[in-house]
Structure 1
Amino acid sequence: MTRLGVAVIGVGSIAGQHLRAYAAHPDVELVGVFDAVAERTRAVAEQWGGRAYASLEELLADPAVEAVSICTWNDSHAAIADQAVRAGKHVLVEKPLSKTVADAEGLAATVAESDRVVQVGFVRRFSANARTLKTFIDAGDLGGIYYARATNIRRLGNPGGWFADSSRSGGGPLIDIGVHVLDLCWYLMGCPRPVTVSGVTDSRLGNRAGVTSLSRYKVADYDPTLSDVEDLATALIRFDNGASLLLETSYSLHASADRLEVAVFGDQGGAELEPRLTIVTEKHDTILNIAPQVDLTTFDFEEGFDSEIGHFVAACLGEGPQIAPVEHGLEMMRMLTAIYESAAAGREIVLD
């Protein structure tokens, strides 16, 4: 079998999961890497093998590179993906697809004119617990899904650096960690079309750099004085099929613990995907909580990325469908942008 030649663009923290998964995949040859920081490019190339490219243009001009993972700052995702597609490469681009809806629309137009696979990094769609639940939903066991609840709360989780700089990130917890649970619920609901969005954001607590009694992840360019993104975002989204979704997410909140909750509810049953997979139904006038006997009842970081990369490679080789196409990334950007617009305007936003 022909192996897929892959390169990774941007070798910060999340790129490690891409590199690890590619290196372990039997149908992949890891051709090389590029990062804006030359020293980091060389170090990562030495660690994982492959070529240390001197520029993005050099990488995209290499015919040995058939596909790329884009793991850069949010504000560069769409532009680099567009450039890669035009160079004839398949693309796995980390979420969010872009910083703006216009950028996402431009990329989607480029992809529509090509035959390239472009997959958005909605990694939680690919996790074992999500795949299991999707089989129940697709079989109609929950009936029509009419409500979903998505929660990703960090009480002390502002990573700082570019994550806290809206000019590069496009926002805070909503666009960083909230998007994971928002997308997962939307995907499990069958990707209905959003029609109205009502959102609220708050920026009252900031970085909270003075709290030193608890450890947290900090990026390499962490600056305790920098944070112009929201601390908290909440939203209610209504869809064209009458369903609704409630979202809450934070980097910083006076909560007793972090919370990760994903749940969907149908007219024949419901399910909680996080913090652990549980299916709820009725039989003989009795409510049943069903605990599927599976290896992973919650999201596992390495398994999720292995599965995501596996699906991407299969799609590139023509051996599997696209699970997270660029169109879904565009629709997610419309929802995220509408939440921010609603919060700024203090009113509900009606989507076209």
Structure 2
Amino acid sequence: MNGTIGIACLGVTHPHASGRVRKMLRTPGVEVIGAADEADVIEPFTRLLGIPRKSVDELLGDPAVSAVLIHSKSKDMTPLAIRAMRAGKAVLVEKPGGATVDDLEELTDVAEELGAVCQVGFTYRFSPAVTAASSILSSGVLGDVLQVRAHAGCSLDEAASSHINLSDDMGGAFWVIGSHIVDLVLAQFGVPTSVNARVSKLPGDARAQYREDAAIAILNYPDRAVSIDFFSWDSMPWVESWVIEAHGTGGSLYTKPLPVGYDLFLAEATGPHAKGWTRWAESSFPEPWAANTTEYSPELAEIANTEFFDIECDSFLRAVRGEGSVVVTPRDAYNAAHLIETVYRSSAADGIEVAI
């Protein structure tokens, strides 16, 4: 595709909407043609970002619109994405991409049937630390990676927000936020054969509004032991506690998505990597992950640190132009949703092993 890429935003209620739209507004060769939503926040969103307010039908029927960004409630993500793909538009849909695993299965089927450009917004895939970790893992310097532990949390009481507790969603904080860490584990280590899990609602009134408090999952692979643990009351401001540990026969790797960095230990020097510890950090986190609430995001703060969104949107635009492939596909999002749904089923059955 040559020339200007016309972008439309379908749904603006998700707190990530402004981060991606602002990125598109400052990108040469891109025009944001309009935004649509039936929610009241569409008025301040379009007014303060300086873009036209239009209807979904207007935007999907406009030949100048090449691609759409979808930031609706979860239950509307898949229907809007399918409408857009059938209208010939490329799609970047906010994660998790739908409300249930059935939604993601339908999204995957339609995207693959049409051969459409459809990317799901798992932004942590675009962390430079994750990119570096993938390179280290694929190089084989860790030897046989026999154990993996991934930890993530939900901070700033977001687990009590309406955004996390939508009645149509198949889960709470582990589904909406924990899907990030699940996606990262699956991207690096593949889909397991089965899962044993517990999702807990713990005693105490402080978290009464949380749909779920914690999740622990054992992912069963034939050649390694993998676990994911998640909690909904992270006291750190954003995602500083998140880490993916990979322990191999030749060393260990600790990946920290944000603030961006990794710690690598090798028993022996291997290729360009020195023996002992190598510690790398891209930044000292000078800009926080989120900023403040706004007229159009009154419950949750909008994104301030848009580094991952910038990389993600550039990747999406390359795919729209036919200059690259989609990094996070609907199939990837389905795999994450299927695993999380299996976690819930295992927990409901007292943690028994459930096949994927």
**Are the structure 2 counterparts of residues 64 and 49 from structure 1 closer, same or farther at C-alpha, using a change threshold of 3 Å?**
farther
Measure the CA separation in 1 of the matches of 2:265 and 2:30.
Answer: 40
Displacement of 1:259 in angstroms is 2.7
Query: Which residue in the other structure is 1:351 paired with?
Result: 355
Q: C-alpha offsets along residues 222-261 of structure 1, whole Å, 9 cap, x if unaligned?
A: xxx8x3611111111123x523321111223799x97322
**Are the structure 2 counterparts of residues 243 and 87 from structure 1 closer, same or farther at C-alpha, using a change threshold of 3 Å?**
farther
Query: Which residue in the other structure is 2:66 paired with?
Result: 66
**Consecutive unaligned residues in structure 1, runs of 5 or more:** 210-224
Query: Which residue in the other structure is 1:152 paired with?
Result: 152
**Are the structure 2 counterparts of residues 302 and 345 from structure 1 closer, same or farther at C-alpha, using a change threshold of 3 Å?**
same
Q: Which moved more, 1:58-67 or 1:308-317?
A: 58-67
The size of the alignment, in residue pairs, is: 330
Displacement of 1:205 in angstroms is 5.0
Q: Which moved more, 1:295-304 or 1:311-320?
A: 295-304
Displacement of 1:295 in angstroms is 4.6
Equivalent residue letter for 1:128: P
Q: Which moved more, 1:286-295 or 1:265-274?
A: 286-295
SS at match of 2:264: strand
Measure the CA separation in 2 of the matches of 1:284 and 1:330.
Answer: 39
Q: Which moved more, 1:314-323 or 1:294-303?
A: 294-303
Q: Does the CA contact (< 8 Å) of 2:24 and 2:30 recur in 1? A: yes
Equivalent residue letter for 1:197: V
Query: Which residue in the other structure is 1:2 paired with?
Result: 3
SS at match of 1:51: coil
Displacement of 1:296 in angstroms is 7.1
Q: Does the CA contact (< 8 Å) of 1:32 and 1:49 recur in 2? A: no
Displacement of 1:166 in angstroms is 4.4
Measure the CA separation in 2 of the matches of 1:306 and 1:273.
Answer: 21
SS at match of 1:142: coil
Measure the CA separation in 1 of the matches of 2:28 and 2:90.
Answer: 18
**Consecutive unaligned residues in structure 2, runs of 5 or more:** 290-304
SS at match of 1:249: strand
Q: Does the CA contact (< 8 Å) of 2:65 and 2:89 recur in 1? A: yes
Alignment of 1:241-252 (within 5 A): 241-252=222-233
**Are the structure 2 counterparts of residues 32 and 149 from structure 1 closer, same or farther at C-alpha, using a change threshold of 3 Å?**
same
Query: Which residue in the other structure is 1:199 paired with?
Result: 197
Equivalent residue letter for 1:319: E
**Are the structure 2 counterparts of residues 171 and 19 from structure 1 closer, same or farther at C-alpha, using a change threshold of 3 Å?**
same
Alignment of 1:240-279 (within 5 A): 241-252=222-233, 259-274=241-256, 276-279=261-264
Displacement of 1:116 in angstroms is 1.5
Measure the CA separation in 2 of the matches of 1:102 and 1:137.
Answer: 32
Query: Which residue in the other structure is 1:51 paired with?
Result: 52
Equivalent residue letter for 1:175: W
Query: Which residue in the other structure is 1:288 paired with?
Result: 276
Give the RMSD, CA atoms, in angstroms. Answer: 2.8
Alignment of 1:161-240 (within 5 A): 161-189=161-189, 192-204=190-202, 208=206, 227=209, 229-239=211-221
Query: Which residue in the other structure is 2:111 paired with?
Result: 111
1:325 aligns with 2:329: yes
Displacement of 1:155 in angstroms is 6.6
Q: Does the CA contact (< 8 Å) of 1:172 and 1:251 recur in 2? A: no
Equivalent residue letter for 1:88: G
SS at match of 1:10: strand
Alignment of 1:130-141 (within 5 A): 130-141=130-141
**Are the structure 2 counterparts of residues 63 and 262 from structure 1 closer, same or farther at C-alpha, using a change threshold of 3 Å?**
same
- Report percent identity of matched pairs: 26
**Are the structure 2 counterparts of residues 48 and 25 from structure 1 closer, same or farther at C-alpha, using a change threshold of 3 Å?**
same
Equivalent residue letter for 1:313: L
SS at match of 1:135: helix
Equivalent residue letter for 1:236: I
Displacement of 1:48 in angstroms is 2.5
Displacement of 1:143 in angstroms is 3.6
Displacement of 1:154 in angstroms is 4.2
Q: Does the CA contact (< 8 Å) of 2:96 and 2:179 recur in 1? A: yes
Query: Which residue in the other structure is 2:297 paired with?
Result: none
Measure the CA separation in 1 of the matches of 2:64 and 2:155.
Answer: 45
Q: Does the CA contact (< 8 Å) of 2:159 and 2:211 recur in 1? A: no
Query: Which residue in the other structure is 2:93 paired with?
Result: 93
Query: Which residue in the other structure is 1:22 paired with?
Result: 24
Q: Does the CA contact (< 8 Å) of 1:206 and 1:252 recur in 2? A: no
Q: Does the CA contact (< 8 Å) of 2:149 and 2:226 recur in 1? A: yes
Normalising by structure 1, we get a TM-score of 0.84
Q: C-alpha offsets along residues 154-178 of structure 1, whole Å, 9 cap, x if unaligned?
A: 4762343433434133322211221
**Are the structure 2 counterparts of residues 133 and 155 from structure 1 closer, same or farther at C-alpha, using a change threshold of 3 Å?**
closer
